């Protein structure tokens, strides 16, 4: 057996000689070894989360490419052909596809969030328990939460980036992004909306002890109504006031409105723009604080 020391930051292992290091030396060694994980630990978890995605990498690629093609074709060739009248959005007239495009892009990020911030969290705590493996190493509980968020963010950028690319390509045939000079800003906006939905969802996923189909309920009774009633396919004002609140609370609406400012310069008052941004940030921060607490408490049991 050869089990020679290859050394970490602090190097050698003199245990085999029988001479044990003093407690002061051991303490100093631990402090030295802890330095890198304390600083970069969140990225180590991210690396793992992204690696784990390779297992279903194919569905990520197909989803990121297929979804925009399907939606844009379906809407451009079908629905937009039917709806010849322009949509009145914030006082100006825009083509139907121009109106729905930013909302679809944001939806793509939210769809990623509803996958990446639910099942992998359940797998980490319960099905595969790899969060406990992380936590037994020098990684801390908050770093695990950070890694989940960063991994999902990476995939959101892929999904939203692909969407934007297709919008840009479609634009050669049917107008989709009248203002490309600011239109690209819809990418970070989409990711922000995805995180505003996803981070609280991650916290909720971390609080679930037993999977009784809660994630399917989230899909059906939160994601779907949000998709349908957040001014995605028609201006929110079209809805009866009694239903408009769904849009007000939904990160999708806030993200889509910001996206509309970016892609076609929708005439939204500056105050409202600030409100949209603040709302998304509040959801992210509140979700993060809740999730952080859940991760710390659950792993420290």
Partner 1 sequence: MPEAVISAQNLVKKYRVKGKPDFVAVDGLSFEVAPGESFGLLGPNGAGKSTTMKMIGAVSTRTAGDLQILGLDPDRYGPEIRSRLGVVPQQDNLDGELNARENLYIYGRYFGLPGKVCHEKADELLAFAQLEDKAKNKVDQLSGGMKRRLTIARGLINDPRILLLDEPTTGLDPQARHVLWDRLFRLKERGTTLVLTTHYMDEAEQLCDRLIVVDKGRIMAEGTPASLIREHSSREVLEVRFGSDRNEQVAAELQGIGDRVEVLPDRVLIYAHDGEAALERVTASGLHPLTSLVRRSSLEDVFLRLTGRSLIE
SS3 of 155-221: HHHHHHHHHHHHHHHHCCCCCCCCCHHHHCCHHHHHHHHHHHHHHHHHHHHHHCCCCCCHHHHHHHH
Q: Please report how close the Cβ of residue 139 comes to partner 1 at its closest, in angstroms.
A: 5
Q: Could you tell me if 126 and 205 are in contact, meaning their C-beta atoms sit under 8 angstroms apart? A: no
Tell me the number of residues near partner 1 by CB under 8 A.
53
Q: Is 148 in the site for partner 1 (CB under 8 A)?
A: no
Per-residue DSSP letter, 15: G
Q: Is 101 in the site for partner 1 (CB under 8 A)?
A: no
Beta carbon nearer to partner 1, 134 or 229: 134
Q: Is 59 in the site for partner 1 (CB under 8 A)?
A: no
Q: Is 57 in the site for partner 1 (CB under 8 A)?
A: no
State which of residues 71, 96, 134, 264 lies at the interface with partner 1 (CB under 8 A): 134
Q: What angle do CA 183, 65, 229 make, to 5 degrees?
A: 65
Q: Is 5 in the site for partner 1 (CB under 8 A)?
A: yes
Q: Is 242 in the site for partner 1 (CB under 8 A)?
A: no
Beta carbon nearer to partner 1, 61 or 88: 61
Own/partner pairs, 78-83, CB within 8 angstroms, 24+ separation? 80/174
Beta carbon nearer to partner 1, 16 or 212: 16
Stretch that binds partner 1, among 16-24, 81-89, 92-100, 193-201 (CB under 8 A): 16-24
Taking the CB of residue 272, how many other CB atoms lie within 10 A of it?
14
Q: Please report how close the Cβ of residue 57 comes to partner 1 at its closest, in angstroms.
A: 12
Which residues, in sequence order, are CB contacts of 60 under 8 Å at separation 6+? 53, 155, 158, 159
Q: Is 209 in the site for partner 1 (CB under 8 A)?
A: no
Helix (H, G, I), strand (E, B) or coil at 84: coil
Q: Is 138 in the site for partner 1 (CB under 8 A)?
A: yes
| Cα dihedral sign, 51-56-58-61 | negative
Beta carbon nearer to partner 1, 29 or 211: 29
Nearest-angstrom CA–CA distance, 233 and 242:
18
Per-residue DSSP letter, 117: T
State which of residues 128, 188, 221, 228 lies at the interface with partner 1 (CB under 8 A): 128
Q: Is 33 in the site for partner 1 (CB under 8 A)?
A: yes
Q: Is 15 in the site for partner 1 (CB under 8 A)?
A: yes
Stretch that binds partner 1, among 40-48, 88-96, 199-207, 273-281 (CB under 8 A): 40-48
Taking the CB of residue 84, how many other CB atoms lie within 10 A of it?
8
Residues in contact with partner 1 by CB under 8 A are 1-9, 13, 15-18, 20-24, 26-27, 29-31, 33-34, 36-38, 40-41, 44-45, 47-48, 51-52, 55, 128-130, 132-140, 299-301
């Amino acid at each position: 057996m050869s089990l020679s020391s290859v050394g970490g930051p602090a190097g050698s292992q003199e245990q085999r000689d029988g001479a044990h290091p003093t407690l002061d030396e051991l303490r100093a060694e631990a402090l030295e070894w802890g330095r890198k994980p304390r600083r970069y630990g969140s990225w180590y978890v991210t690396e793992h989360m992204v690696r784990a995605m390779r297992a279903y990498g194919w569905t990520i690629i197909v989803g990121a490419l297929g979804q925009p093609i399907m939606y844009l074709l379906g809407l451009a060739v079908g629905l937009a052909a039917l709806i010849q009248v322009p949509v009145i959005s914030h006082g100006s007239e825009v083509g139907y596809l121009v109106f729905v495009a930013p909302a679809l892009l944001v939806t793509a990020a939210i769809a990623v969030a509803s996958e990446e911030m639910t099942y992998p969290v359940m797998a980490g705590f319960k099905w595969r328990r790899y969060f406990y493996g992380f936590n037994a190493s020098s990684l801390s509980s908050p770093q695990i939460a950070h890694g989940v968020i960063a991994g999902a963010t990476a995939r959101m950028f892929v999904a939203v980036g692909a969407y934007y690319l297709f919008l840009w390509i479609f634009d050669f045939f049917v107008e989709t992004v009248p203002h490309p000079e600011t239109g690209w800003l819809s990418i970070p906006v989409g990711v922000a909306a995805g995180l505003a939905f996803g981070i609280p969802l991650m916290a909720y996923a971390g609080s679930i002890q037993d999977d009784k189909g809660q994630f399917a309920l989230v899909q059906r009774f939160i994601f779907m109504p949000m998709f349908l009633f957040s001014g995605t396919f028609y201006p929110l004002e079209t809805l009866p006031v009694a239903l408009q609140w769904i849009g007000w609370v939904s990160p999708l609406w806030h993200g889509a409105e910001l996206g509309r400012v970016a892609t076609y310069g929708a005439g939204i008052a500056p105050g409202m723009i600030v409100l949209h941004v603040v709302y998304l940030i509040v959801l992210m921060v509140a979700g993060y604080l809740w999730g952080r607490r859940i991760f710390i408490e659950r792993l420290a049991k």
